Structures are given as structure tokens and as C-alpha cells.
Amino acid sequence: MNPADLVDERLLDICRDKQSIVIVGYTKTGKIKIATELSKRLNTPLIISDHHINNNRETALENMMDDVLYYHNDPNKSIIVEGVLCFRLLRKGIQLNNFYPDMVIKVECNDETIKHFYRVDGEEHKIKRAMAFNKGLAGIWEEYLDILSINQSIKRPAFIKVNTSIF
């Protein structure tokens, strides 16, 4: 299964009028493929969080947030943001009261599939650490949802879940 195939007419119709779309998911779930296809088909700029992580881990979130806000704060611009760093971006946006996306697409995938793709990519040695990292991301996601549920005045995004599990 190619995750990009999940970008069908139904998803495109839902996303078409959104100014800011955030795509989150654990490692090796197909986020980049979905985001790239969505960006291409909507003709919308794409920010990939890995590009910020690779530059400087200490300032990755701040640098990415600056890039995101450049688009988000201009009503004539739209943006798609993708990556594991987006879990922290969502939480930080609420904490700083400066980023409330219109839509969050959560890419879900079972552990067997994630482990499979680490093996396929020749990165089996990273599986244990990745699974622990993904648990940390799950915690950040739960914090984000808790903040949304506690504070009813916060602008809520539309939520869509897509599943890329192959097992």
C-alpha cells in the first residue's frame, strides 16, 4: 500500500478550503508521502519537520514555528506541515496562543507495520528506540487533546484519521 494513495478526491475536497493543515503520525507511518501528494494536488507549500530537525535539534521547533507562522498569519497564504515535530508544534501553538490549524490529519499505523519498514529500510537497530520515541509522541498528543478539551474557547481543528497499516 502506498500512503500517497490515501490522498483521494474525498480527502482533497475536505482539505481544499483549509488555510493550515498539520499532518502528524509516528515514525515510518507514511506522513511525508501523504503530505507530499496532498501538497502537490492542492498546490500548497509544504513544510517538512525533518528538515528543521536535521539543521539543529535545539532550535528545530522554534525555527519550524517561525516558518509555519509566516504562512499561518497571512490569510492569503495556506500551508501544509508534516512530521513528528508537529506533535510539539500543536502543543506549543496552544501554549503560546499563536497557532491553531484548521485541520489535523493523524496518520495511524500499527507497530508491526512500523517495525516492518524499519527492517525494509535497513534500520532494524533503531526499532527499540523508535518505539520508545513513539510512546513519547503519544504522550504529547494526549497533552494536546487534554488542553483542547479543558479550554473550550480554543479554536478546534477538524480532525481526520488515516491508517497506513499493512498488517
Q: What is the 3 state secondary structure string of 62-127?
A: HHHHHHHHHHHCCCCCCEEEECCHHHHHHHHHHHCCCCCCCEEEEEECCHHHHHHHHHHCCCHHHH
Q: What is the pLDDT of residues 39-84, one digit of tens each?
A: 999 999 999 999 988 767 678 999 999 999 999 999 999 999 999 9
Domain total for the chain? 1
Average pLDDT over residues 157-162: 97
Q: What is the pLDDT of residues 85-117, one digit of tens each?
A: 999 999 999 999 999 999 999 999 999 999 999
* Residues of the domain holding 102: 3-163
CATH number of the domain residue 92 falls in: 3.40.50.300
